[in-house]
Structure 1
Amino acid sequence: MPPAAEAVYAEDETVREEAERHRGDEPRRSALRAPAAAALLTAVLLCLATRLSRTYPFGPVTRNIVDLGQQYLPYHAYWRAFLLGETHGDAFLNWNSGFGSNFLGDIGTYLSSPFDLLVVLFPADRVELALYVVTAAKISAAAAAMALLLLRLRPGPWPVAAVLGTAYALSGWTLNYGATVPMWLDGLVAFPLLCLVGEWARTARRPVLGPLVVALAWISNFYTAYMATLGAAVFLLVRLLTAEETASARQRLAGALRAARSVLIGIGLAAPLVVVVFLATKVADPTPETVFAPAPWTDVLARFLPATASVASPALFIGTPALALALTLPFNRAVAPRVRAGWTAAIVLVTLSLQWEPTHLLWHAGASPNGIPYRQTFVLCGLLLIAAWFSAARGVPRPAALLAGVTLLGVLAWAARGSVDIDRWTFPAFGTAALLAGAAVLLAPAGARRGHARVQPDRVPRARVLPVLAVVLLAAAQAGEVAVTGMRIEEQQRSKVSWSPRVGPWQEAAADEVARADAWPRHRTDPGEVPGGNDVLLVGGQGADYYSSLTADVTSRTLASLGFGYYAKGRHPVSLDNPVADALFSIGTRLRSKPTEPVRQDAPPRATVTVTTTPVPPLVTVRPPGRPATHPGDSAFARQERLLGADVYELPAPRRTGRSLTARCPAGSQVWFWAPEYRGEAALAGERPVGFDGKPPSVRAPLQALGTVPDSGAVRIDLAPEGKLRLPREPVGCLVAARLDSAVRRLTATGATRVRASGHTVTAELPPGSKGVAVLAAPRISGWRCAAGDADARPARAYEGLVAVPLDGRASSVSCSFRPPGMKLGGAAGAAALLALAVTGLLHRRRVRR
């Protein structure tokens, strides 16, 4: 053999021996590289899409649309303050919202994800940035988890697994729904992790870690974890039927039973929190029943395409390259027939289940949700990407499979062309991504052929460059579509749905004033109206403003009956600037804000904030035995008087003439207009008009002041309704200030002489010999227990919807404590699950030793 040939042969042998030596390390390296690359690529693309849409933190425009600004941003601001010990309440009770609300339920609904702990790393004035980082971290973690799952299912090129992991994390579901509802993103992370748990159960591995992963998923957000668990069940069923052709029915059943054990123990471990949330939903303000209406199939198909946005159809975009690979699976003969048939059937059936009401209800735990009806779509996106990986893990599909998949993709796009969801960016982005993906397909086989052939050393770099270039083109195609889709969805959402401005000088000024004026528990400080929602969570204080899926029905009904307004069909009560309400709820300090410029999407809001302090009764007052004589009826005026125990309004019977109301009231009294279903303006003669935004059943307009009655006593209210004029029987009340002052002095004199509040407990010292009913100015939600003097605590009574304790004249103090319902039951279930986990671990350890 010539010396040159011997040198080449020796070099080939060295390379071969080196490859054999490191072959065992390659899966481990891929398992690390793919998740890391997927997470990094996902974070970069998410930031790029945000930058292209000029949205904060990479632009001046707010991203606080709908619930993101009204719920999640304020909740994370309060969560930061809570974790740092800066709140008056504790993990059981939130004194800031709704005059006292079940905070443990809200923690389990909005804040129990480990990612939410990141808020403590940011200053108080950077809570928007903190929430964006939390959102990006969850989405990136979902990409990493999916990439890891793919490599666990079948070995393959880790760069492709990383790209498909990114496609899952930045699907249309994420960009259209999850990015603005951060709590749902925990389900996005949970699905691939729960699929891994299914794999462990199928192969009889990690019997302790599996339940812990399930518990973490259900604690983080049990709502989407439930959907992810159903999706993982579909995944496991397909794997049991297709992964091992020689497996017996007994082996498959054993794998299913191990998975069921992991799920049951995991849910049991999460029960101390999940049960509390579940019971809180049972007493929450009910939303109107929703009848599911399936989306037109044209719109469903359109949602596979880029740059489409809608809340009425499933967001199924996963990127044209990933979708094309998934569509090749049924025709890819390099994949076992049972695998092709199993995954194709699963995807078709899950797709159909989105559109059938019984399975729609199954996905949503028996209740069709208000708002977005396709919240489970992330599961189908995940199944599609698993199918894409099975088709591509062992190389580019053969030409026949590629042609069939591309044909299906073209038919899908053609059928969707008439959908209302198609955007002007849709087909340009789709076509560009298809061209780049096609170029990647042409390069990959060429690179593979050259890589497997015996070549001279100087040609090896070229053989490596082509596959790398193919992956780069694939990633570019996926990335470009994601960036465009994210940009267009952001822009469309801002133009079509309600939004809140960024946090800025207005909120900061209100927070500073609240901090200076706060006198809790001597009396409450209400920050008033601040842009957005859940204002007291964002700027501090103690008020009625509260927006939660768990807003108690008692809270909503009680406040609405007293003239408070609400949004979100009752789940978002708002502040009421009314002196009687202030007296009833011990609001001694009230902030009022006047904007100094129009509130805009692209600038932080500014306002002048003023502080007013008035004498009010203490937090705990005493009502004497018997009911005082006040106005009868169900108007907000009459209900306020009954709760106050004094007649403070004059309630005239106004005459309606066209669009005007006329009546007579005491001169100098204040005219209040109560019309919860009225939408339009109302103006007292000679005064500026006041706007009302009633829109039943979603919005209830609050009681509002129109002005002062003139010396003549004549009242004329001019109405300018938008649509049908709807007024209650007693829409007008004239408040006599002297009567209210007298009632406040009486309640102060007979009320608590000292009030102490610590966490979820309130203790009040009363004048000796107090009889009747002690009333705590907080809605009587489930979980309150009270006692008079040294008596045993019992479930609290209700007085016109507020917490009440009967007094017989012998007790000189009362104490009330709140404990979220379900803690005992959840704790018992958690203890049993922990015992079951310990037994499982011991049995597994003994089995391994044998």
Structure 2
Amino acid sequence: MRELTGSAGAGAAAVGVYCGALAWHRTWPFGAPMRGGTVLAEQVVPLQTHLWDVLRGQGGDLLVNWDSGYGVPFLPDLATDLLNPCDWPGLLLPRDQQALGLFLGVLLALGLGTGLMAHFLGRLAAGPVAVRGLLAVGYGLCAWVLVAGVGRPAWLWGLVALPLLGLAFDRCLRRTGWPLGALAVAVCWLGDFYTAATASLGAGLVLVLRLLVARSRWRERLRALLRALAMAAVGIAAAAPLLWVTFEAGRAGQPAAVVHPVAPGLTDYLGQLLPGGLAARALPDVFVGVPALLLVAALPFNRRVRLRERVAWPLALALVAASFVWRPSILLWHVSTAPEGNPYRSTFVLSGLLTMAAWVCLARRPRLPALAGGALLVALLAALVDARGSTRPISWGLLGAGVPLAVLAVPALAGAARQRRVALAVLGGVVLVGSGWAAGSVLVQRDRRAGSGPVPSAGALRAARAALLAAGPRWPAGRADPGPHVFTGNDPMLFGAQGGGYRSDYLPARTAQALHALGAGWLLQGRQTSSFADPVGQALFGVTASLGGDLTVRRAPALPLVTVQRSAAPADQSSLWARQQAVLGATVYQVPPLVPGGGPAPTDHGSSGWSLPTTPDGGPGTELTGRCTPGRAAFLYAPYLAGAVSWPGGSLAADGQQNATALPVLALGPVPADGVVRVTVRVGLATQVPARPFGCLDQGALAAAVAAGRASGSSRPTVSGHTVSAVLPHGSSGTAGLSVPAVPGWRCGVDGGAPRSAGQTPAGLLAVPLGTGADRLECAFRQPGLAPGLRVAAGAGAVWLLVAAWTWWRRRARPGLPG
């Protein structure tokens, strides 16, 4: 019981210090609102909100997310961001409190990881749980947690997984509880496979290190290693459904930029060991507090620790630290894939190893000479990294106060009872005050560097959501699209509506390309798509109600979810306007040729478009014109245009960039009485526009085309979870088109026939041949990779049951044997 309460106390202390640091600096949720632009606000909170809806039968099921991207797979997002068990209690909170629910999940993961580390340290070496708990607090509040972990709650499962896997592998050394250890491995990998993979490497390294320094015979060590390998294999295989699904989703996903990190200088890297600082560029975040740093430095001088341990632990730390900045080993930590975003997302493993090494030293009660040697090394480290970018005045304050107090307190832990209590109080003060101070400093620096302001209030979101969802027919009779993404890049999930906005690590490439080809914008090289901003794009995807930039609701008729096209004529793909008309099945645009006006002349590259030169300082911009019928609605499509764009009645700072940022269709207003559409562009660096950038819409023709599409399409589509069914006009022939991107996994059939893999239109939407006549259409989504993954997991489950039964039988037959 003392072990349990001590470990729980360590977890509670870490949570209390973290909350205290947030409250002291008035950081969300203690004062200031959550900042926008972060992964937490833009991606995780909307996903958690969507899961809240799914668990209550809204927005699809675990296979298909009907809210985002006009229909995308949901299981990869679930596996990557939403399976941390610590986040699940937050789903009991109201829908608009899911951000708070995730924060509570962060606290639970932080406390659980700290408590498990306190317990695991006791398996490395015996010692009081209160002292172990103080070192575990430094692990729970390490730099990685503060900089990376709390912003991506799923990753915090790695904080739990590292000590939990260490405890599982410890059972292999003690020859007990193999089935329970395999179950722990499976739980770790199911909670978050990414951090579990890196935690498995770290825990495996600790196991090998313990085997190397053990006094047992080599045969026994080899058996322990084989037991651990078998345990890991069965546990990882149990998570095969998620691993296979995410692997297939990654292959089908929109490619992202690959990070090629520049190896940091030695002094920059060493500076990361000091508490309280935050580097201006991406560096491994590894500090674990002043006492742990002192004890790691004192380990080589502590003669009470066996020589092989004094050599093995520092060598292991050096090798792991070097592996985070050497490209081949970086790929190993990232499971053989090139890192995206922060390349040092696995450094919590090094923080854990530092904590373990510190305990190996402290458990053997280092004498004053050993601590003096450690203090000298820390002083040398401080001198080497003085004035480095990551160090702050707080770093020197924490070192100046913490090192002397720790040097005095640690030897007293081996004294009389009164001395031990005083020493424990002093060491506790150094850890708790120092960790809180350092955490507050890092959190403030992190928030200052956040690029965006606070997210809009929950009240504004609730009002806009209510107005939008009440404006049109309920899905699937029509889509309600949040449109401008005022709140996040995942507004459709946040609203519980059905839009094109979607930001995800697994955004299907077919979704990104289909929406882009029809005029929707994108960001992050296509890993964040936007809703359609033009009436034709909205009509094609059944958007009957949309939200404007000023949060006013726009209503318009739109095509049904399922339409029928009888013509098999080849579609014109020469321009956006032609592609939209091909899907619509009618001519609604007048597409004039571009005519250069005044200013620097653009260069015509034929069908490739026009390049616009740099505008001279103080000179006029390049004028682009086109002639259309007066009164029509004029639009501009120049997805990669970069510059200051102006036209009669409006202006825009365009920031398009080839492949990275694509602008949506831009409304220019009605064509004036002279019939000339004019746009002036002031360009900093040379930019480009398509060959036919202007389109002039006949709104009457659009209304007629929509009415015709509704008459020939399905009037009664039904969407249930991951299936779509529709009753068609009797004897329909040609091709049924669904306003859903044709991502891999869709299978369709007509009139009860055998389902087959769905085809796609030239624009990238689902298409189903109807033959000579059909009355009913059925489609269902089958997640690629799920079926083979389930078969592997079933095999792992069978092996686990056999081993568990064998263990139970042996214990009954021979009670003296270990489990």
Instruction: State the TM bucket, normalised to the shorter chain.
Output: over 0.9
Match of 1:413 among 367, 373, 382: 382
Corresponding residue for 1:636?
576
Separation in 2, partners of 1:696, 1:405: 54
Partner residue in 2 for 1:344: 314
What secondary structure does 1:335 align onto? coil
Residue type at the aligned position of 1:614: A
1:273-312 correspondence to structure 2 within 5 Å: 273-310=242-279, 312=282
Give yes or no for the alignment of 1:206 onto 2:177.
yes
Q: How does 1:734-745 map to 2 (within 5 A)?
A: 734-745=696-707
* 2:646 is the alignment partner of 1:646: no
- 1:383 matched to 2:323: no
One-letter identity of the residue aligned with 1:116: D
Amino acid aligned to 2:6: A
CA contact (8 A) 2:297 2:374 kept: yes
Task: Tell me the secondary structure at the aligned position of residue 317 of structure 1.
Answer: coil
> Is 1:83 the counterpart of 2:37 in the alignment?
no
Structure 2 counterpart of 1:19: none
Work out whether 1:152 is the aligned partner of 2:103: no
Cα displacement (A) at 1:180 = 0.7
CA separation of 1:444 and 1:356: change in aligned 2, threshold 3 A: closer
Give the one of 813, 818, 824 matched to 2:787.
824
Matches within 5 A, 1:383-532: 383-395=353-365, 397-422=366-391, 426-446=392-412, 448-451=414-417, 462-463=418-419, 465-494=421-450, 497-498=451-452, 501-517=455-471, 519-529=474-484, 530-532=486-488
**Aligned mates of 1:303, 1:253 — CA distance in 2:** 37
Which of the residues 559, 563, 568 maps onto 2:519? 563
Equivalenced residue count is 786
Question: Helix, strand or coil: the match of 2:773?
Answer: coil
2:100 matched to 1:129? yes
| Amino acid across the alignment from 1:611 | V
Task: Return the alpha-carbon distance in structure 1 between the equivalents of residues 424 and 344 of structure 2.
Answer: 37
Letter of the 1:341 counterpart = V
1:789·1:811 contact (CA, 8 Å) conserved in 2? yes
Return the alpha-carbon distance in structure 1 between the equivalents of residues 114 and 18 of structure 2: 12
The match for 1:362 is 332
> Of the candidates 65, 71, 77, which is equivalent to residue 43 of structure 2?
71
Q: Are the equivalent residues in 1 in contact too, given 2:523–2:529 (CA < 8 A)?
A: yes
Indicate if the aligned counterparts of 2:533 and 2:664 stay in contact, CA closer than 8 A. no
**d(CA) in 2 for partners of 1:378, 1:714:** 61
Q: Which amino acid is 1:643 matched to?
A: V
Q: Distance in 2 between matches of 1:815 and 1:415?
A: 69
Which of 498-507 and 291-300 deviates more? 498-507
Distance change (3 Å), C-alpha of 1:486 and 1:664: same
- Matched to 2:112, the amino acid is A
Identity value in percent: 36
Match for 2:697: what amino acid? Answer: L
Separation in structure 2 between the aligned mates of residue 651 and residue 767 of structure 1, nearest angstrom: 34
Deviations 1:311-362 (A, max 9, x none): 5110111112211111211221111111222211111111111111100111
Q: Is contact 1:66-1:499 (8 Å) kept?
A: no
- Counterpart amino acid of residue 527 in structure 1: P
Provide, for residues 21-73 of structure 1, a one-character-per-residue CA deviation record: whole Å limited to 9, x for no partner.
xxxxxxx51x2133212111111111122123322211124244421110011
1:345 is paired with a residue of what secondary structure?
A: helix
Return the alpha-carbon distance in structure 1 between the equivalents of residues 437 and 54 of structure 2: 40
State the Cα distance separating 1:375 from its structure 2 match. Answer: 0.8
Distance in 2 (CA, whole Å) between partners of 1:199 and 1:502 is 48
1-structure distance, mates of 2:420, 2:137: 24
The CA distance in 2 between the partners of 1:43 and 1:806, in whole Å, is: 59
8 Å contact 2:254–2:508 — kept in the other structure?
A: yes
User: d(CA) in 1 for partners of 2:642 and 2:491?
Assistant: 23
Segment of structure 1 superposing worse, 674-683 or 41-50:
674-683
2: CA distance, partners of 1:285 / 1:629: 25
> Can you give the 5+ residue segments of structure 2 that lack an aligned partner in the other structure?
601-621, 815-819
For the pair 1:264 / 2:233, whether they are aligned, the reply is: yes
SS of 2:677's partner is strand
Return closer, same or farther for 1:292/1:468 CA change in 2, 3 Å cut-off: closer
Equivalent residue, structure 2, for 1:96? 67
1:794 alignment counterpart? 756
Match of 1:620 among 562, 567, 575: 562
Match of 1:771 among 727, 733, 741: 733
The match for 1:34 is: 6
> How far 1:499 sits from its partner (Å)?
5.1
Distance in 2, matches of 1:467 and 1:584, equals 72
CA positional deviation for 1:259: 0.7
**Distance (Å, rounded) in 2 between the aligned partners of 1:636 and 1:412:** 60
> Residues 750 and 776 of structure 2 are in contact (CA less than 8 Å); yes or no, is this contact kept in structure 1?
yes
CA deviations 1:72-114 (Å, max 9, x no partner) are: 11111112222233x1301111100111111111111111121
Q: Is the 8 A contact 1:768 1:809 kept in 2?
A: no
**SS of residue matched to 1:770:** strand
CA distance in 2, matches of 1:326, 1:93: 49
Which position in structure 1 is the counterpart of 2:25? 53
Task: Give the structure 2 partner of residue 540 of structure 1.
Answer: 496
Query: What's the CA shift for 1:516?
Result: 2.0
Q: 2:421 and 2:131 mapped to 1: Cα distance?
A: 16
The structural deviation recorded for 1:820 is 0.8
| Superposed displacement of residue 593, structure 1 | 4.0
Q: Give per-residue Cα distances to partners, 1:230-267, cap 9 Å, x unaligned.
A: 1111111101111x21x222211111111111111111
* Counterpart code for 1:474: V
Structure 1 residues 699 and 629, CA gap change in structure 2 (3 angstroms): closer
State the distance in 2 between where 1:722 and 1:58 align: 43
Q: Which stretches in structure 1 are left out of the alignment for 5+ residues? A: 1-27, 452-461, 595-608
Write the letter of the residue equivalent to 1:224.
T
- Residue in 2 that maps onto 1:232: 203
Partner Cα distance (1:663, 1:65) in 2: 38
Distance 2:688 2:224 in 1: 62
* 3-state SS in 2 of match to 1:726: strand
**d(CA) in 1 for partners of 2:436 and 2:260?**
38
Check the 8 A contact 1:441/1:470 in 2, yes or no: no
> What amino acid maps onto 1:417 in structure 2?
D
Q: Point out the more displaced range, 160-169 or 541-550.
A: 160-169
Question: Any conservation in 1 of the 2:259–2:343 contact (CA below 8 Å)?
Answer: no
1:793-822 C-alpha deviation (Å, 9 max, x unpaired): 011111121111101132111110112111
Partner of 2:803 in structure 1? Answer: 840
Report the equivalent of 1:108. Answer: 79
**Range that drifts further, 479-488 or 227-236:** 479-488
**Counterpart Cα distance in 2 of 1:75 and 1:836:** 35
State the secondary structure of the residue aligned to 1:768.
Answer: strand
2:617 aligned partner? none
Contact between 1:309 and 1:492, CA under 8 Å: does it hold in 2? no
Answer yes or no: is 1:731 the counterpart of 2:701.
no
Q: How does 1:305-344 map to 2 (within 5 A)?
A: 305-310=274-279, 312-344=282-314
Distance 1:33 1:820 in 2: 44
Name the CA shift for 1:436/1:283 in 2 (closer, same or farther; >3 Å): same
Give the TM-score normalised by structure 2: 0.93
Code of the residue aligned with 1:713 in structure 2: it is G
Q: Work out whether 1:574 is the aligned partner of 2:530.
A: yes
1:295–1:313 CA contact under 8 A, matched in 2: yes
Aligned partner letter, 2:162: F
- CA drift of 1:274 comes to 2.2
- 1:535-562 Cα distance to aligned partner (Å, 9 max, x none): 0111121010111111000001111111
Shift of 1:471: 2.9
CA RMSD in angstroms comes to: 1.9
Q: In 2, distance between residues paired with 1:359 and 1:249? A: 28
Give the whole-Å Cα distance in 1 for the aligned partners of 2:729 and 2:386.
76
